[in-house]
Chain A
Amino acid sequence: MLCQECGKRPATLHFTKIINGDKNEFHICESCARERGEGLPGAPNGFSIHSLLSGLMDFEPSGKASSPSQIAAQALRCEQCGLTYSQFTKLGRFGCSSCYKHFEDRLDPLFKRVHGSTSHVGKIPQRSGGLIKTRREIDRLRQEMKSSIQKEEFEAAAGLRDEIRQLEKQLHGASEE
């Protein structure tokens, strides 16, 4: 089979593209594939989740390309591992856990796009997560107290208030130690 693009070389790449449910088959040769920017599966320069991500990371909420804030972002650098923000957008991967702190201001739009959310609500480490657990519990109890007050169940609300105070005391004691 000849390449459907140039009609000269034999087609060595056969793939199916599905865009919004429309299925298209392509049979092209390697050099035409490169020209069209189709990644070769398995090849090192192939299309990957990481290159897809880097497209998302250039996302600028204000909408203007090369705005001052975007230029500032490119100069951002993780003090721990030395990875720059612009390297991060190309790699699609963080270099170390401190990158999360140093790129903090830039990450919300990215996480929103990938996960539809920006903060963790799942499992918490047993050992190092004790305080976090207490804080989450307090938040939960506060919500509950609010809804009790709205329903005019004041007795229940008072009970919850005492529970919150108790936990806050614990939290305070732990952070002073």
Chain B
Amino acid sequence: MYSGEFDGAAAFAGGGFMPSQATTVPDPSSSFSKNRNVRTLLPMTVKQLSELSSNDESSASIDGADVNTITVVGIVCDMQDKEPQFIFLIDDGTGRIECSRWAHEQMEFNEVNQISKGMYVRVYGHLKAFQDKRSLNAYSLRPIIDFNEITSHFVECIYVQLYNTRLRGGSSNQPQMTNSNHLKEYNAISSNHYSFDEGKSIDQMVLDFLRRPEFLANNNGVHRNVISQQLNLPMDKLMEALESLNENSLVYSIDEFHYKSAVNA
């Protein structure tokens, strides 16, 4: 029975889950066990899932991040009861994917019984692949109640993709950070770097960079590799911006590789 005296600190101290364990960097040499230890939860569209590259059935990655658990939001367009397995066909507007939910306990049956055809649901599950066919092993399916969640989910998909490809330093197929750093940076970056979206286009970023006093003073211009590195921009995006700025006479190129702002020239 409840003794009435519950020392929370003592209950969770020593032995139990310690915060530092969450930030432990897994050994990068254990590449197979990496999938077991490093867990990611990625919001994705079915279109993205259909385009995942995978080296083998047990590991897949997108934009440099391991794909373990994913979440999708969509409409249930078909349901099959093959107790204890329930199969839902989810259509999120970008495609359809099959989600299997296994139910053994009452709570799981209750969860499944809440779902009906035509309903919007949020699914959490693991990606599984069988003979070229990808599906989800769902461990949670719940009806959407506030439909702003649909907007929020797709915006999150966009943000995470942007974060993994651009804000994190670019190169795909190279997981540069572990999941734990992911989480801390994700939260920090969302407040600091999100402002890139508001008002500052890539063109403007490049222009501002070239207008720094140290570059204005340098008659030799700045090498495009330096700009790319400093601004964390992939070269094709940088070149697009430089060409556009060049056309508008805001920058000019000294040779093929060095650029200078036309202001104060």
Same assembly: no
Tell me the B residues contacting A by CB distance below 8 Å. none
Chain A interface residues (CB < 8 Å from chain B): none
